[in-house]
Amino acid sequence: MIKAIVVNPPVYDFTLYDFWLKPYGALRVYNFLKSSGKVDVSFFDFLDRYSPYVDSYGFRFKDEFGKGKFIGVEVEKPQILSFVRRKFKRFGIPLEYYVRLIKGFKPEFVLIYTGMTYWYPGVKEVIEATRNILANEVKIITGGVLSTLLPEFVKELGADNVISGEAFNPLSEIFDIKYRSDMAILPSWSLYGYLPYIVIRLTEGCPFRCPYCASYLLKPVFRILDIERVLREVERWTEKGVKNVAFYDDALLVRKKDAFIPFLEKVIERGIKANFHTPNALHARFIDMDTAILMKRAGFKTIYLGFETSDESKQRELGGKVYTNEFDRAVGNLLKAGFERKNITAYIFMGLPEMSIDEVENALYHVNSLGIKAMLSEYSPIPGTPLGDRTIKEYNIDDLLLTNCSVFPLISMGYEAVQYLKHLKNRLNASVNE
């Protein structure tokens, strides 16, 4: 049997929060290879906060919904980031445990999941460690966000085969496994010893084309997945004691009558007990009263809404997916349906090119006037997106590390402005109760 290992690399960043953060794609790839019966496949998630290789309590801390902070180890800051007044860290299980595993297992294929483009140092670390141990005896394959957006860049990091876009067709050829696009390949949650939450998707892609977003580059076609399969998955894991379920959909409420509403109705009908969360911004426009009531009855706990800005012309420029009156109506519906104010959060942009302090301030005050919380979406220019490419050119960005969302707003707005807006956000959020 062919031997392969699927790897989720460590992350180098200033901060990292387990905001229902799981390598969804990598877990599906594992399942695809495993269920073929042709591949002896192993899995190593550097970011598993409950791994037996981790003994620090801080690493494992979780809140009532399963989220928590990763504890990182400070590392030398790359020269290009020297102007950032924060510690640079490595987050993830120490490399020695991975090295020990591949020395014993000797995989012929290492499949590395690549996430955020500015997280490339973690990918580089795994590629280099793998080559050091297995030299050219191993084929290194990468897939995921970075590989899709910048395949040539990942090739230069040392990968043999970079999968840009959908992974199952190329993998079916490499491993000689049958694949049909209508096959429901779910993530292998059983790989985790302890699981405080699972993540699911009812849809793939998004029909909108916001100029800063890479959704359509990653999934060019919006489609609805097999809802019944997802329901069975949720049933299975909640019966095993998993309490939290987070949606990874980009456009959960688009065509809601075909996916989201039937899903909610079946959750209620079958008595599935879970706390549902929506970490990706929901389209506030589609939250009418009936939808809000159904979400509440089905067990939704935390709601994250895309607001971005209160400036109408900017709202239009950023894709026109929500205007202030629609946003206000959605918040009103959620509150009337019984959601707690402290569990409704609006995402507000900070650090877009030419964005003024006033604009962010206005949005923060507006959200606060509705009695809900705000979270700052610190802008990261994503290569390949219209706004990302324009920004990268305008600001002469020559290293992806500078596109980090903790870094770029410092360049576009300045340190003092960013600090001021973060403090303002915290102060306003502190006034939100229940």
Give 211 or 414: the residue with its C-beta nearer to ligand SF4.
211
- The verdict on 48 binding ligand SF4 (CB under 6 A) reads no
What whole-number distance in Å separates Cα of residue 60 and Cα of residue 98? 20
By CB under 6 A, what part of segment 386-425 binds ligand SF4? Answer: none
Give 243 or 321: the residue with its C-beta nearer to ligand SF4.
321
Q: What mask, x for binding ligand SF4 by CB under 6 A, covers residues 206 to 245? A: x-xxx--x-x------------------------------
Taking CB under 6 A as the criterion, the residue among 84, 116, 251, 367 binding ligand SF4 is 251
Beta strands 109-114 and 2-8 are: parallel
- The verdict on 321 binding ligand SF4 (CB under 6 A) reads yes
> H-type helices in 135-226, by residue range?
145-149, 151-157, 168-175, 215-218
Identify which range of 203-211, 265-273, 342-350, 379-387 contacts ligand SF4 by CB under 6 A: 203-211
Taking CB under 6 A as the criterion, the residue among 262, 319, 353, 371 binding ligand SF4 is 319
Q: What are the angstrom distances between the C-alpha of 271 and each of 106, 238, 241, 299?
A: 46, 11, 14, 10
* Full DSSP string of 360-405: HHHHHHHHHHTT-EEEEEE--PPTTSHHHHHHHHHTT--SGGGG-T
Give 58 or 320: the residue with its C-beta nearer to ligand SF4.
320
Burial tier of 11 (Cβ tally within 10 Å: 0-12, 13-18, 19+): buried
Give 48 or 378: the residue with its C-beta nearer to ligand SF4.
378
- The verdict on 353 binding ligand SF4 (CB under 6 A) reads no
- The verdict on 204 binding ligand SF4 (CB under 6 A) reads no
Residue for token digits 């402005």? 417
CA angle 357, 349, 374 (to 5 degrees): 95
- The verdict on 323 binding ligand SF4 (CB under 6 A) reads no
On whether the CB atoms of residues 117 and 149 are closer than 8 A, the answer is yes
- The verdict on 249 binding ligand SF4 (CB under 6 A) reads no
Give 26 or 252: the residue with its C-beta nearer to ligand SF4.
252
Residue 184's SS3 state is coil
Size of the site for ligand SF4 (CB under 6 A): 10
What whole-number distance in Å separates Cα of residue 132 and Cα of residue 134? 6
Taking CB under 6 A as the criterion, the residue among 18, 45, 125, 250 binding ligand SF4 is 250
CB of 392 to ligand SF4, least distance (A): 18
Rg (CA), the chain: 22
- The verdict on 277 binding ligand SF4 (CB under 6 A) reads no
Q: What are the angstrom distances between the C-alpha of 360 and each of 56, 259, 352, 391, 408?
A: 38, 34, 10, 19, 16
Sites of contact with ligand SF4 (CB under 6 A)? 206, 208-210, 213, 215, 250-251, 319, 321
